[in-house]
Amino acid sequence: MPRLAYVNGRYLPHRMAAVHVEDRGYQFSDAVYEVIGLSGGRKVEPLRHYDRLDRSLREVRIAWPMSRRALGFVADTLIRRNGVRDGYIYIQISRGVAPRDHAFPVGAVPGLVMTTCRKPPFNGDVAGRGVGVILTPDLRWKRRDLKTVGLLPNILAKQEALDAGAFDAWLVDDAGAITEGTASNAWIVTTADVLVTRRADADILNGVTRLGVLDLAREAGLAFEERPFTVDEAKGAREAFLTSSTNWIRPVIALDGAQIGDGRPGPLARRLVARYAEVFGDR
Residues making contact with ligand PLP (CB under 6 A): 35, 180, 183-185, 205, 207-210, 243-245
State which residue, 8 or 197, has the beta carbon closest to ligand PLP.
197
Q: Which residues pair with 12 in a beta bridge?
A: 5
Burial class (CB in 10 A: 0-12, 13-18, 19+), 81: middle
| DSSP per-residue letters across 72-140 | HHHHHHHHHHTT-SSEEEEEEEES-B-SS-SSPPSSPPPEEEEEEEE-PPP-HHHHTS-EEEEEEE---
Rounded least distance, CB 280 to ligand PLP, Å: 11
142 among known catalytic residues = no
Rounded least distance, CB 241 to ligand PLP, Å: 12
State which residue, 174 or 192, has the beta carbon closest to ligand PLP.
174
Annotated catalytic residue, options 119, 142, 147, 158:
147
State which residue, 82 or 244, has the beta carbon closest to ligand PLP.
244
State which residue, 16 or 126, has the beta carbon closest to ligand PLP.
126
Integer Cα distance of 234 and 256 in angstroms: 11
Nearest to residue 138, comparing CAs of 168, 166, 179, 175?
179
CA atoms within 13 A of residue 163's CA, in its CB half-sphere: 8
Rounded least distance, CB 135 to ligand PLP, Å: 15
Rounded least distance, CB 227 to ligand PLP, Å: 17
Residue showing the smallest CB distance to ligand PLP in the complex: 207
- Catalytic residue numbers? 147
